[in-house]
Amino acid sequence: MEKYDLLDVPHLIYVMDPMCSWCYGFAPVLHRIKLEQEGKLNFKLVLGGLRANTEPLDAENVAKTKQHWQDVEQVTSQPFDYSFFDRTNFIYNTEPACRAVITMRYLKPEAKLEMAEKIQIAFYAGNNDVTNELVLAEIATTFGIEEDAFLEKFNTDDIKEKTQQDFLIARHLQAVAFPSVYILNGHEVNVLSRGYRTYEAMNMLLENAMKVINKPK
């Protein structure tokens, strides 16, 4: 049965990046939807790879990032620590945070989404540098994972490759905005939402999609 599970049971596919501010704003909505759909829909998390920067944020991008944070805070009431913008020469590379979630997928699969959420909180509300593997390893220890075991797995070529595979899946799904949510039913994938939506809007979209899926043939 498990071999055919992906095709036999409808899936909710969530494409996100732990260092995407709108994904952080969307986290409570997704969490509620996931809880309510438990037993009705399976859940698949795809890491999107928002940015793979190698240069520090310039003044223009600092201003844009700050505006995004303010917009998310206003719409969602999620807490932000703006002392982040006192940092200098910060390289906004989201690959390590995404890879940390992929690592958790293999070390403790049931904790992968919670790992992503804790990285979000550490970064946005705590001003922790989640591009630093030691910071990510410390977060992993809150799930009972030994720091050395996490870092060993995190730095393998296999996990790096699997992270890139997630990025490719996100592009294949045309997830041009994060967060993006899809419904997989059999071989058919349909976009449910691209970008942030409220719980009420998401719930209505999901209910309509499920009506179509469950409609007698």
Question: What pLDDT shows up at residue 4?
Answer: 44
| 47-81 residues labelled b (16+ CB within 10 A) or e (exposed) | bbbbbeeeeebeeeebeebeeebeebbeebebebe
Tell me the per-residue pLDDT of 27-38, one tens digit each, with 9 for 90 and over. Answer: 999 999 999 999
User: Tens digit of pLDDT for each residue in 41-85?
Assistant: 999 999 999 887 788 999 999 999 999 999 999 999 999 999 999
Domains of the chain by residue range:
2-214
Tell me the C-alpha distance between 12 and 78, whole Å: 24
Q: Per the confidence metrics, is the pTM higher than 0.85?
A: yes
**What digits encode the pLDDT tens for the residues 79-120?**
999 999 999 999 999 999 999 999 999 999 999 999 999 999
Backbone angles phi, psi at 182, to 5 degrees: -130, 160
Q: What CATH code is assigned to 2-214? A: 3.40.30.10
Confidence of residue 176 (pLDDT cuts 50, 70, 90): confident
Sheet of strand 42-47, all strands in order from the earlier edge strand to the far edge? 42-47, 11-16, 180-185, 188-194
In the predicted model, what is the mean pLDDT of residues 137-163?
A: 98
pLDDT band at 5 (very low <50, low <70, confident <90, very high): low
Output 7 or 135, whichever has higher pLDDT: 135
Tell me what the mean pLDDT of segment 122-128 comes to: 98
Q: Please report the pLDDT score of residue 1 as a whole number.
A: 32
- Mean residue pLDDT of the chain comes to 93
User: How far is residue 98's CA from residue 213's CA, in Å, rounded to a whole number?
Assistant: 31
